[in-house]
Amino acid sequence: MSENREPGNDSETRAGRSRERRSVAVGAIAIASLIVVTTALAPMLVSARPANQIPVESVSVDDEPQDPTSDAWDTVPAVDIPLASAPSGVPNASDTTTETVSVQSARSDERFYLRLSWSDETADSNATDPRAFVDAIAVQVPKNTSARPPIAMGNTENPVNLWYWSADGETEELLAGGPGTTTEFEQAAVNTSASHDNGRWTVVMSRDIESDATNRTSLAVDRDVDVAFAVWNGSNMERSGQKSVSEWYHFPLGSGPQGPPYEAILWTIAGLAITGVALVTIHAVRNTRGETR
C-alpha cells in the first residue's frame, strides 16, 4: 500500500524503486500475516464468551420454543457443558455415565426457556421394577441470585431452586438447602416437554421470568444468574447423589434480553488491535525507508 512515485534521477529512481518494492513486500507480508492471525483467531473470538456463560437469546412464543423439536432453537447457540460424577456418600457415586449436556437458553417477554440435550441410548421412562430407575435431569439456580451458594444443592443460608424432570413424565420444583434436603413446592411453576430421538434426550423447561412466590427464584433481575446441571442415567441405577453434575455456569441477565454485548466488544477490540498493528507496521516501514534515504 505504500506506493511512492516520486521522480528522481535514474539511478536514484532505480534504487528508490527497488527500495519501494522491498517496502511494498514488507507491507504485504505484514498484512498477510495479520490476515492469517485474524483468521486463526476469529473462531476463538466468536466462542470467547466469558467462561461458563450461557447466552440467552430472544424467542417469540409463536415459534413454540416449548417444543424440543421447534425451529425456534435452530438459531440459539448451544453451550456444551462437561459433567462429572458428583462427590457423594451414596454407594457407587463415582459410577456415572453422562459426560456432557448441551444447553440452550432463550426468553420471551414473559417466560424463560432452557433446552437441554444429552446422549442416553436407553430411554428409561418407567420404574415399575424394584431395580428400575428413570432418567432425569435437574437445573439448579440460587434462590437469591445475588450470592453463589455451595454447588452441592446450596445450604440453609443460601438455598437453591431445582427444576427436576424425570422420564416418567414428572416435573418437580424443589427447594434445597444442602444434599438430602429437597422439599417440593406445592405447585410446580416449571413446564417441561421432552423427546428421545437417536439416543438423545432433549428436554425443554420453561418458567415465568417473574416470581414473587416465597423461595422461588426471580429471573427478572439485572445481573448474572448462576446455574448448574445434574443428569441421572436410570439404566445405570443412577439416583440421588449418584449423578453427573456441572460446575456453576451463568445466564448473563445483566443488560437486557440479549445479555451484555461481549461479542461486539471483543470484535471491536480485535478490530482496533488489527488496525493499530497495521498502522504501526506501515509507520515503521516508512520510517525505515526515510532513514535509508
Partner 1 sequence: MTAQDADAGDETVDIAEGIDHQVAMVMDLNKCIGCQTCTVACKSLWTEGGGRDYMYWNNVETKPGKGYPRDWEESGGGWKSDEHGERQPGQIPDQEDYGEAWEFNHEEIMYDGSDQPLRPDGDPEWGPNWDEDQGAGEYPNSYYFYLPRICNHCTHPSCVEACPRKAIYKREEDGIVLIDQERCRGYRYCVEGCPYKKVYYNATQKTSEKCIFCYPRIEGEGPEGETFAPACAEDCPPQLRLVGFLDDEEGPIHKLVEEYEVALPLHPEYRTQPNVYYIPPFAPPQHSEDGETVDVDRIPRTYLEELFGEGVHDALDTIERERDKVDRGGSSELLDMLTDTNPARKYRLEVFD
- Binding residues for partner 1, rule: CB under 8 A, are 88-91, 127-132, 179-182, 239-241
For partner 1, which is the closer residue by CB, 56 or 136?
Answer: 136
Residue 209 C-beta: closest distance to partner 1, Å:
29
Closest CA relative to residue 189, chosen from 166, 210, 167: 210
- Count of CB atoms within 10 A of residue 231's CB? 26
Give me the residue label for grid cell 441470585: 145
Cα radius of gyration (the chain): 28
Residue 233 C-beta: closest distance to partner 1, Å:
15
For partner 1, which is the closer residue by CB, 54 or 137?
Answer: 137
For partner 1, which is the closer residue by CB, 171 or 240?
Answer: 240
Residue 183 C-beta: closest distance to partner 1, Å:
9
Residue 39 C-beta: closest distance to partner 1, Å:
52
Q: What is the identity of the amino acid at 48?
A: A
d(CA 151, CA 251): 16
Are 161 and 216 contacting, i.e. CB atoms less than 8 angstroms apart?
yes
d(CA 126, CA 257): 38
Residue 130 C-beta: closest distance to partner 1, Å:
5
Are 68 and 193 contacting, i.e. CB atoms less than 8 angstroms apart?
yes
d(CA 112, CA 106): 6
The three three-digit cell numbers of residue 280, written as one number: 504501526
For partner 1, which is the closer residue by CB, 102 or 125?
Answer: 125
Maximum pairwise Cα distance, the chain: 99
Residue 207 C-beta: closest distance to partner 1, Å:
22
For partner 1, which is the closer residue by CB, 130 or 290?
Answer: 130
For partner 1, which is the closer residue by CB, 5 or 131?
Answer: 131
Are 70 and 63 contacting, i.e. CB atoms less than 8 angstroms apart?
yes
Count the residues in the chain. Answer: 293
For partner 1, which is the closer residue by CB, 117 or 166?
Answer: 166
Residue 181 C-beta: closest distance to partner 1, Å:
8
Taking the CA of residue 153 as centre, how many other CA atoms within 13 Å lie in the half-sphere pointing to its CB?
21
